[in-house]
Amino acid sequence: MALRRCWRFAGVVPRLILNSTVVPGASVPRGRSFVSNPVNTHPGCKTTELVLRRFSSGPPSTDVSYDELKQLLAGRKSVVMDVREPWELREYGFIPGSINVPLGQVNTALQLAPEDFKEKYGGEMPHPTDNIVFTCLAGVRSKKALNTAASLGYNDVQHYPGGWQDWVKNEQHK
């Protein structure tokens, strides 16, 4: 019986999201598909697009270019976290001003007390409202760290997709 009730709601919820003419509490006729028309039928109305964007899991723009990262570092407007392993930083180098928090430790590091974070990683613990830019060697691990931080409630998270490789290339040209 409980399963039947769940299936009944499967028809109502998507219609509420996708069709602005559905009245909350309205019942769905039996045998009807739960998404009958995914396109909003009201001319000139963009309600569907706005509602669906509200449910997206990440911020609108998560990529930071080399020039943007340089500006953020110069203005001290964000926390830059390098998620590579410490030996990689020693061997290849690091972006000045970044804090090293290896990818495997990002989840627990962002849940530490601020004093514990500072003691372990040597930098200020970012607040959930602070801008955080994750970086790594080539952008793969930084994207994973971004997703981890977003799942922990950090709202303004980005990553530098070029990573250390792009940083070195750009620094050599200047």
Q: What 3-state class would DSSP assign to 81?
A: strand
- Chosen CATH of 66-173 out of 3.40.50.300, 3.40.50.2300, 3.30.70.3270, 3.40.250.10: 3.40.250.10
More confident residue, 102 or 42: 102
pLDDT grade for 36, boundaries at 50, 70 and 90: very low
Q: What angle do CA 152, 105, 130 make, to 5 degrees?
A: 45
φ/ψ of 100, rounded to 5, equals -90, 115
Domain residue extents for the chain: 2-54, 66-173
- Active-site hit among 28, 95, 125, 136: 136
136 is catalytic: yes
pTM over cut 0.75: no
Are the C-beta atoms of 125 and 71 separated by less than 8 Å?
no
Q: Tokens for 88, please give them.
A: 């990689």
How far apart CA 143 and CA 58 sit, in angstroms, is 11
125-170 residue pLDDT tens = 999 999 999 999 999 999 999 999 999 999 999 999 999 999 999 9
